[in-house]
Structure 1
Amino acid sequence: MPQSVALKKAKDSACAAPAPPAQPCALPYSIVIPVLNEAEALSQLLASLRQQCPSAEILVVDGGSADDSVRVALRGADQVLLSKPGRARQMNLGARAAKGGYLLFLHADSQLLFDETLVLKWIKQQPLWGFCRVRLSGDHLAFRVIERAMNIRSTCTQVATGDQLLAVERERFLTEGGFADLPLMEDVEFCKRWRKISIANCLPATVKTSSRRWEERGIARTVLQMWGLRLAYVCGVSPQRLWQFYYGR
């Protein structure tokens, strides 16, 4: 486990301490947000979450940002945690520190298109895990096709992406070891493992996520790249090699 630091929100300063062990559930749910250089998006997200999810505990886990992400998080989150980079590591750290009975893993460049009334209703069913539909932020017609394909695929296969707000019962999540410590495909591995435990009880809601990676790299190129990565993963290529290919390292 990486050496990490927990920063408790304070008015003038942050008090550092070792990452806490699992704690009793004192809240219905916690939202865990892994972050790396997402100051602008994070500021908007935290402001909206405070209005949409007033009962939620909000945890931001920073993976070594070089921008103002930590400063922004300290103003808007209940807990801010520092970790070595790696989305799986960051989310696992947040899960261990969370006080909620359920964990909602949300990307910093995403936005909830619903409020907590729906979340609390979902929790009352005592599901083990689930995820949401996804909507891409771009206006191009191709994005409507892509998001529809993503939603159909995830519903049929029970394999969602991290953009779809993975939600899980915290105690069972910790018992099962959390996310596998992978540099890429940690969300796919999680879903494939959990669908063997229980059918996903999906939230009847939508999360809007940024389409910037498609816009920056080209829509067709990005779609083909994503398909190629998933196919390579299914064929046994290691997530480490896929990460090197995806980030060109």
Structure 2
Amino acid sequence: MSPAHDATRPSLAIIVPALNEAAGIAACLEALQPLRRRGVELIVVDGGSRDATPRLAAPLASRVISSPAGRARQMNAGAERATAARLVFLHADTRLPDDADRRIAAALDGGRAWGRFDIRLSGRHPMLAIIAAAMNRRSRLTGIATGDQALFMTRGAFDAVGGFPDQPLMEDIEMSRRLKRRSPPACLRASVTSSGRRWVRHGVWRTILLMWRLRWHYWRGASPARLAEAYRDVR
């Protein structure tokens, strides 16, 4: 019997890649417990943390697994262990809406192969709301989503495109490109809330210009490995 029709399987798996997230992993997973109590599978994929991330995550997750470091590799490892027919990939500093499971089911049962949420950036800087609005609008216009927007998809769509590409940066952009060939994304108006700390810590305008520059070079065919080096050098 297929996962979609097997009543013993969870209908949704939340996959959280983590690396040295001890400061926030418990809060992330605590926020997901109502979904877990409704039968959602919660998988944390640790990429070799040197802190207490796995220990703190263990009592709050369906399972904690290990994987080589790298967000794409970790997300693929989590998907491989998941048993659900629908998958959502969540950054450790991002919070899903309380009814995320129902919204995802409605979108995917409505014929879309994949989708994402709108995003809201937490923090007091006045530019954060503008950045989030621009991200949401750009995503609707292009059909491309970022990992901060909590990509979700059917198991069939994930398998059909071969999972996330094994690259150190822009894996979310490339995944969106591949999924677009199967269907347009479901762009949900409901928002996830993601931390605005990296935008503020590195300077809002500096970070905006950096991301524009990296995406421009990626669209022009630059190597993700070289772009990842540039990203690390200026952080």
TM-score, length-scaled by structure 1: 0.87
TM-superposed CA distance for 1:126, in Å, is: 4.4
TM-superposed CA distance for 1:196, in Å, is: 1.9
TM-superposed CA distance for 1:175, in Å, is: 2.8
Match of 2:85 in 1: 101
Match of 1:119 in 2: 104
Q: Determine if the alignment matches structure 1 residue 207 to structure 2 residue 192.
A: yes
Return the alpha-carbon distance in structure 2 between the equivalents of residues 201 and 24 of structure 1: 22
Q: How does 1:228-247 map to 2 (within 5 A)?
A: 228-247=213-232
Unaligned runs of 5+ in 2: none
- State the secondary structure of the residue aligned to 1:40: coil
Return the alpha-carbon distance in structure 2 between the equivalents of residues 216 and 141 of structure 1: 14
Query: Could you list the per-position Cα deviations for residues 145-170 of structure 1 after superposition, in whole angstroms to 9, with x for gaps in the alignment?
Result: 11110000001001110000100101
Return the alpha-carbon distance in structure 2 between the equivalents of residues 49 and 245 of structure 1: 34
TM-superposed CA distance for 1:244, in Å, is: 0.6
Return the alpha-carbon distance in structure 1 between the equivalents of residues 48 and 210 of structure 2: 27
TM-superposed CA distance for 1:197, in Å, is: 1.8
TM-superposed CA distance for 1:118, in Å, is: 2.5
Q: Determine if the alignment matches structure 1 residue 150 to structure 2 residue 135.
A: yes
State which of 31, 42, 62 in structure 2 corresponds to 1:78.
62
State which of 14, 21, 29 in structure 2 corresponds to 1:46.
29
TM-superposed CA distance for 1:99, in Å, is: 0.9
TM-score, length-scaled by structure 2: 0.92
Q: Determine if the alignment matches structure 1 residue 88 to structure 2 residue 72.
A: yes
Q: Determine if the alignment matches structure 1 residue 28 to structure 2 residue 26.
A: no
Match of 2:158 in 1: 173
Query: Could you list the per-position Cα deviations for residues 16-37 of structure 1 after superposition, in whole angstroms to 9, with x for gaps in the alignment?
Result: xxxxxxx946211100000011
The alignment yields a C-alpha RMSD, in angstroms, of 1.6
TM-superposed CA distance for 1:58, in Å, is: 0.2
Amino acid at match of 1:216: R
| Higher deviation after alignment, 199-208 or 236-245 | 199-208
Match of 1:218 in 2: 203
Identity of aligned residues (%): 43
- State the secondary structure of the residue aligned to 1:100: coil
State which of 171, 195, 198 in structure 1 corresponds to 2:180.
195
* Number of aligned residues: 227
Return the alpha-carbon distance in structure 1 between the equivalents of residues 24 and 131 of structure 2: 22
- State the secondary structure of the residue aligned to 1:34: strand
Amino acid at match of 1:47: E
